[in-house]
Amino acid sequence: MTPLFERIRDLIRMEGPIPVSVFMTLCLHDPDHGYYASNPGIGRDFQTAPEISQVFGEILGLWAAHEWLEMGAPETIFLVEPGPGRGVMMADMLRASKVAPGFRDAVRPILIEASPVLAEVQSQRLAAYNPIRVQELATAPEGPFILIANEFLDCLPIRQFVRDNHGWAERCVGLSTTGELIFGRTPSPDPPHAPPGVDQLERAPGMAGLVIELAGRLARHPGRALFIDYGPAASPPGDTLRAYREGRQADPLTTPGRCDLTADVDFSYLAQLAEAAGLRVDGPAAQGEFLLRLGLAERCARLKAHAGSQGESVHRAAMRLVDPLDMGSRFQAICLSPRSSAAPAGF
């Protein structure tokens, strides 16, 4: 039993079953015992693309420099990263984009991080770049920006809805007669709009707020928002809440706060929200195709040639990112921009 288990059990005893989104928020962000607040395990519990190969961040850095030029090369460009993990992608992006000198002078990194533990790691890794730190996008400085987020949307807490003969119900976490956490359902007062034939839906309430904030900023400034994450390209995911601990899938209910909780991103819903907010939407495109169009194979060949005896493992790691049987098709890239923009590179 974890300390957070006791806290959640007491909360349910007092208030009744809690929606999955509340459970997820407590598990990830409880200030004392939440997974990201206390003991985030990037590299231990799960691996991410920037941690697998430096080529990932390097290619995205070059993409950012290219888009900056397309945006008219503004004098200051904020490079915004929500959920920067250990700061690896930002470091790789900034290092690689030095080949575009104007960009290097214009760029100001902004980090948005909920975890104090990871914020400390980022501050050490990125000290030379003097990043600005904000708690949420709404409080970031105003100006032209390029936002790039890898595996951020999948951490946004989700509500889960299920339709049966009685209509829509919301999945919740309650207590069994013996005091264990269990999943149950309560009738839903605000059922979601579902495409015909869909009986299971997940909705991240934070996603709508994020898109509205982005749309406001993109109406005021040139910009791009690129999200890379996992989930099906077209259809809404069903029940995809998962827990990870030490590289393996775990039961999300047994050790709250000790494992990462995630859910597939509903890219069709994200695109719908963005279009309704008046934005241009490019993608989702399979990560593999996106990175290959941006020159991953060429960059990788150069890296391999300079990596000596490490060449083969460097090459193998980078190829995982684009392999259709690995991350290449499971992950998608989607870009939001003002409707008047040209198609961003890679789509």
Is the Cβ–Cβ distance between 84 and 111 less than 8 Å?
A: yes
Is the CB of 84 or the CB of 338 nearer to ligand SAM?
Answer: 84
Smallest distance, ligand SAM to C-beta of residue 75, A: 28
Query: What is the C-alpha to C-alpha distance for residues 287 and 221, in angstroms, rounded to an integer?
Result: 27
Smallest distance, ligand SAM to C-beta of residue 76, A: 23
The DSSP secondary-structure symbol of 131 reads: -
Smallest distance, ligand SAM to C-beta of residue 157, A: 8
Smallest distance, ligand SAM to C-beta of residue 25, A: 9
Is the Cβ–Cβ distance between 125 and 86 less than 8 Å?
A: yes
Is the CB of 7 or the CB of 125 nearer to ligand SAM?
Answer: 125
Is the CB of 67 or the CB of 92 nearer to ligand SAM?
Answer: 92
Is the CB of 83 or the CB of 256 nearer to ligand SAM?
Answer: 83
Smallest distance, ligand SAM to C-beta of residue 208, A: 14
Query: What is the C-alpha to C-alpha distance for residues 204 and 261, in angstroms, rounded to an integer?
Result: 13
3-state secondary structure of 333: strand
Is the CB of 202 or the CB of 280 nearer to ligand SAM?
Answer: 202
Smallest distance, ligand SAM to C-beta of residue 195, A: 27
Q: Which of 272-278's residues contact partners 24+ apart within 8 Å by CB, and which partners?
A: 273/207, 273/208, 273/211, 274/211, 274/214, 274/215, 274/336, 277/211, 277/212, 277/214, 277/215, 278/215, 278/219, 278/339
Query: What is the C-alpha to C-alpha distance for residues 291 and 306, in angstroms, rounded to an integer?
Result: 21
Residue 201 identity (one-letter amino acid) = L
Smallest distance, ligand SAM to C-beta of residue 136, A: 7
Is the CB of 19 or the CB of 40 nearer to ligand SAM?
Answer: 40
Is the CB of 71 or the CB of 79 nearer to ligand SAM?
Answer: 79
Record the tokens describing residue 23, joined without a space: 């459970």
List contacts with ligand SAM (CB under 6 A).
36, 40, 42, 48, 50-51, 82-85, 89, 112-115, 118, 150-152, 155
Is the Cβ–Cβ distance between 293 and 322 less than 8 Å?
A: no
Size of the chain in residues? 347
| 203 membership: H or E segment, kind and range | strand 200-203
